[in-house]
Chains A and B, each alone.
Chain A
Amino acid sequence: MNGARIVAGYALRESLRRRVFTVVLILTALFLALYGWGASTAFDSVEGFSGGSEGVDGKVITGSSILGLAMFSILFLGAVLAVFLTLSAVRGDAERGLLQPLVVRPVGRTQLLFGRFAAAAGVCASYAAGVYLIAMLITGAVGGWWPDRVLTPGLGLVGAVVVIAAIALLGSVYLSATANGIAVFMVFGAGLAAGLLGQIGAGLDVKSLERVAEVTAWLLPFEALYQSGLHGLTADASGFTDFAVQLGPFGGAEDSGPFLWPWAVVYVGLLGLAARAGFARRDL
């Protein structure tokens, strides 16, 4: 695995030097600043809210809603990073003549692929975990509210962006950079749209829509991981507060059970095998 380590180090340095990384960092800084301002305003506006006879906890609803919004933004920016760091890893780099000098070296193609994945996944996972942590700290600092599960939402985001990086890497074996970027964002959008359909299905009690969302979430486990992460924000909520949270924009959040993470690992492994098989047969 020495070759994979060297390639990962090279890809990591390359990632950090890409313009997209700087753009994402600037966008993230702007986002966090706006988030802090928005969170402060939101908590201020519900400060006097007693909750009425139903016992609705305004702080929980506000905190989970705005941190849920933040998680969506983090997922989106993490997906942008994941896609741009991997979209041209194989075919795109081969077309530009960047890949051949590396492949000729006595490093297996599998190691090369693994190194690229490790670097992209590492950058995206660190990014998602870091920004989630900051957003959570901002929420706690300005509103005094903390998620019921501190780690689960962050882990869900980390898992989701790693899965997206794996999908984009697989796409890079078969598609040109532009086509791959478009395809991965379409897949990403399809996952989110399915989640939304599930939420609509739950609201209207349409089982077929819920079923479509469920199947899609497992076919594209970044969606299930994201939903599972969202669920961690208010895992202990009950009564009318829980009901109110489900009415919000993140009502689709749900705990996907103990098989989600093992399935996500298997899923990434299967993508890796498919990428390996395609790369092994590709003429450069």
Chain B
Amino acid sequence: MPAALAATGLTKSYGAKQALAGADLRVESGELFGLLGPNGAGKSTLMKIACGLVRPSSGTIEVHGTAAGSLEARRSVGYLAELFRFPGWLDADELLLLHQRLAGSQGGSAERAELLALVGLSDASAVKVEAMSKGMQQRLGIAQALVGSPRLLMLDEPTSALDPVGRRVVRDLLTELRSRGVAVLLNSHLLSEIELVCDRVAIMLGGRIVQQGVPAELGKAQGVEVETASGKRRFEGAGRDDAPRIVAELVGAGEQVYSVTVLASTLEDTYLEAVEGV
């Protein structure tokens, strides 16, 4: 089965500036994949190439086995850009109708109502875009990206303008989409959010993927902390697998063990280490 998104040796140059320098990425169907990296790392460029908005300089990129940007690939893609704008004179329902027609969706009013409900805008179907807050527009943008039931959804900073409640709505939505088998490529600066919802993450730097994996596995072991009757003791360099042995040795030595904590770096630590060499 082809991957939802597969990029190999992808490069993109804007004149002398190299935005992508050989990015390799694979997002499986039904996978929620997080893309991390500082500004200018190439995350948005990668997404734009996957959508057919930008032409790669070299390398290959496929969406569900077809060349990214082709009409066939675009039929299975939903996208929300980081900087987007919708015509202010359209209301929410009209905007979704326009995109239904462009996407060839047969979902009709039922699909539009469902999408607005998914993003918590059921009561705003007749509200003009120009009368919406930035957060509402962002949620409408996500609904727009979901028109036509795409199999690959690409969201570039989809929660940047949302309040905590709005972020929660989007997180729940992403989880719901995963359960429906939709692959999601999520670009966000909110590491906690990525850590909460994503199956895998990749860290981009200088146009390359420098690290990728399951969020919990990206963190490095930083020791085991054991609370005994004589106080807390820290075993540097030990990992999760060392915990039973440590406890056994302490108990064997006559210590009373009250708690054991495996210490590991967070995704944020890993990210900062990769980006800043901290």
Q: Which residue of the partner chain A has the closest CB to B141? A: A101
Q: Which residue of the partner chain A has the closest CB to B95? A: A101
For window 116-162 of B, CB contacts with A under 8 Å fall at: 141, 144
Interface string of B218-260 (1 = CB under 8 A from A): 0000000000000000000000000000000000000000000
Say how far A197's CB is from chain B's closest CB, in angstroms: 41
**Chain B residues in 8 Å Cβ range of A26:** none
A201 contacts the other chain (CB 8 A): no
A102 CA to B101 CA, complexed, in Å = 11
**Chain B residues in 8 Å Cβ range of A98:** 85-87
Do A102 and B102 contact each other (CB < 8 Å), given the known contacts A14-B89, A281-B55, A283-B55? yes
* Inter-chain contact A6/B101, CB cutoff 8 Å: yes
Say how far B140's CB is from chain A's closest CB, in angstroms: 11
A58 CA to B85 CA, complexed, in Å = 58
* Inter-chain contact B74/A104, CB cutoff 8 Å: yes
Do A283 and B81 contact each other (CB < 8 Å), given the known contacts A105-B102, A106-B104? no
B51 contacts the other chain (CB 8 A): yes
Q: Which residue of the partner chain B has the closest CB to A7? A: B102
B79 contacts the other chain (CB 8 A): yes
**Chain A-chain B contacts (Cβ-Cβ < 8 Å), number:** 61
Do A101 and B81 contact each other (CB < 8 Å), given the known contacts A106-B74, A281-B55? yes
* Inter-chain contact A104/B79, CB cutoff 8 Å: yes
B272 contacts the other chain (CB 8 A): no
Contact of A6 (CB < 8 Å), options: B14, B79, B89, B98:
B98
A232 CA to B81 CA, complexed, in Å = 52
Say how far B13's CB is from chain A's closest CB, in angstroms: 11
* Inter-chain contact B74/A105, CB cutoff 8 Å: yes
**Chain A residues in 8 Å Cβ range of B53:** 100, 103-104, 283-284
* Inter-chain contact B52/A104, CB cutoff 8 Å: yes
**Chain B residues in 8 Å Cβ range of A14:** 87, 89
**Chain B residues in 8 Å Cβ range of A13:** 89
Interface string of B102-115 (1 = CB under 8 A from A): 11100000000000
Contact of B84 (CB < 8 Å), options: A100, A105, A107:
A100
Say how far A158's CB is from chain B's closest CB, in angstroms: 27
B23 contacts the other chain (CB 8 A): no
Say how far B240's CB is from chain A's closest CB, in angstroms: 43
Say how far A216's CB is from chain B's closest CB, in angstroms: 36
A49 CA to B214 CA, complexed, in Å = 95
B54 contacts the other chain (CB 8 A): yes
A283 CA to B15 CA, complexed, in Å = 12
B16 contacts the other chain (CB 8 A): no
* Inter-chain contact A106/B87, CB cutoff 8 Å: no
Q: Which residue of the partner chain B has the closest CB to A5? A: B101
**Chain A residues in 8 Å Cβ range of B174:** none
A122 contacts the other chain (CB 8 A): no
Do A106 and B54 contact each other (CB < 8 Å), given the known contacts A6-B101, A97-B83, A101-B81? no
B64 contacts the other chain (CB 8 A): no
Q: Which residue of the partner chain A has the closest CB to B101? A: A6
A100 CA to B145 CA, complexed, in Å = 12
A67 CA to B83 CA, complexed, in Å = 49
**Chain A residues in 8 Å Cβ range of B55:** 281, 283
A100 CA to B71 CA, complexed, in Å = 15
Interface string of A249-284 (1 = CB under 8 A from B): 000000000000000000000000000000001011
10 interchain pairs (CB within 8 A)?
A6-B98, A96-B85, A97-B81, A100-B51, A101-B79, A101-B84, A101-B99, A102-B102, A107-B102, A284-B54
Interface residues of B (CB under 8 A from A): 14, 48, 51-55, 71-72, 74-75, 77, 79, 81, 83-87, 89, 98-99, 101-104, 141, 144
Extra A-B contacts (16), CB below 8 Å, given A101-B84, A103-B53, A104-B77? A6-B101, A6-B102, A14-B87, A97-B84, A97-B85, A100-B81, A100-B84, A101-B86, A101-B144, A104-B51, A104-B53, A105-B74, A106-B102, A281-B55, A283-B55, A284-B53
A-B interface, 10 closest residue pairs, ranked by CB to CB distance from nearest: A105-B102, A97-B85, A284-B53, A283-B54, A106-B74, A97-B84, A106-B75, A104-B79, A97-B83, A106-B71
